[in-house]
A = this chain, B = another copy of it.
Amino acid sequence: MEFRLATGISILERTPGSMRALLAGLGTEWTTATEGPDSWSPYDIVGHLIHGERTDWIPRARIVLEQGANRRFAPFDRFAQFRESQGRSLAELLDEFARLRAESLATLAGWRLTDEQLALEAEHPELGVVSMRQLLATWVAHDLGHIAQTARVMAKQYREAVGPWRAYLPVLDR
């Protein structure tokens, strides 16, 4: 499917509600569970989504849009949430993510991007030349990937508990 702004936004605007539906009020046996060492819990994932709103999607889109002399993105810190979420409740993080996402989408809507602007390019520090269209499509796919990860991490907590049904549940061994 080609990226279209309205179609992509229809996912972006749902993600805070999806994470809230999955996680709000749930016990820590689910929300802090991981897939093993060096993997993320649902709580960590919400912190990562917050960091993306602050430093990744809109800030990078602004770099592409402005077409300044330096169009190289700053590297994204994939571990910021371990520092920034400290001491905060999951409920607080879900609220903050919803607020930041609403702000991001208001900024995006305010730009009223044209097809020409969606074709503008910048430089990713590792991937090379990327376009505004690719950046926004990645924002959408990144959201959906982390929703899938959140559900998968929780499913895996019952890998043993399901007994022989494990053979029918590929999510438990993915």
Find chain B residues with CB under 8 A from A100 CB.
none
Q: Is A37's beta carbon under 8 Å from chain B?
A: no
Contact B27–A147 (Cβ < 8 Å): no
8 Å CB contact of A162 from B134, B148, B154 = B134
- A78 and chain B: residue at smallest CB distance: B168
Find chain B residues with CB under 8 A from A148 CB.
147-149, 151-152, 155, 171
Q: Is A128's beta carbon under 8 Å from chain B?
A: yes
Query: How many of A's residues come within 8 Å of B, CB to CB?
Result: 54
Q: A7 to nearest B CB, angstroms?
A: 6
Contact A169–B155 (Cβ < 8 Å): no
Copies in the complex: 2
Contact B1–A157 (Cβ < 8 Å): yes
- A133 and chain B: residue at smallest CB distance: B161
Contact A144–B155 (Cβ < 8 Å): yes
Given contacts A11-B30, A30-B10, contact A172 B141 (CB under 8 A): yes
Q: Is A130's beta carbon under 8 Å from chain B?
A: yes
Contact B2–A27 (Cβ < 8 Å): no
Report A's interface with B, CB cutoff 8 A: 1-3, 7, 10-11, 14, 17-18, 20-22, 26-27, 29-30, 33, 124, 127-128, 130-131, 133-135, 137-138, 140-142, 144-145, 147-149, 151-152, 154-155, 157-159, 161-165, 167-172, 174
